Amino acid sequence: MEVVLVYTSMTGNTEEIAHILKDKVEAFNLSVKKFHVEFDDIMALDLKNYDAILFGTYTWGDADLPFELEDFYEDLADEDLTGKVVGLFGSCDSYYEFYGAAIEKMAEQFRAIGAEVIDPLLKIELAPEPEDDEKIDQFVEEFVKQVNNTK
């Protein structure tokens, strides 16, 4: 089974979460290919070539998608990911009124094209800390369980 992990990160927090998730998912003997939306060659249409998807983002401003995700988000609407397991994650900031709004928006888009989105979404306050380990482990275990159920 091959998992694609796609993310964007401005401050490095979401990137750090992506690295942690990659290592933890690979520990379950799943192959993970990691792509940064802004710097690597990955498009929405590529997602169908993988067995499952991990997708991470931060929220820009009060409740916006990061600029570098806008085209990807729009292109995603044209895809059919029926039955694909998707785990969404990202760094959030409780300073803002809408906590992790971009993660929620991406989840809605994935659901609209038939993907099976893992609940709950993984939202980490700023950078991952040791107190987030249990939440991360639970997210990974649920993701892997769902992926294994689709074999």
Q: What is the pLDDT of residues 94-135, one digit of tens each?
A: 888 889 999 999 999 999 999 999 999 999 999 999 999 999
143: closest CA among 8, 17, 7, 28? 28
pLDDT class of 71 with cuts at 50, 70, 90: very high
Beta bridge partners of 54: 5, 87
pLDDT of residue 64: 86
pLDDT at 151: 65
Task: Give the C-alpha distances (Å, rounded to integers) separating 124 from 19, 34, 51, 146.
Answer: 14, 19, 25, 21
Query: Domain range spanning residue 72?
Result: 2-149
Query: What is the number of alpha carbons within 13 Å of residue 64 lying toward its C-beta?
Result: 7
- CATH number (domain holding residue 69): 3.40.50.360
Tokens of 18: 């992506």
pTM: 0.95
- Domains: count for the chain: 1
For residue 119, give the 3-state DSSP assignment. Answer: coil
At residue 137, the 3 state secondary structure works out as helix
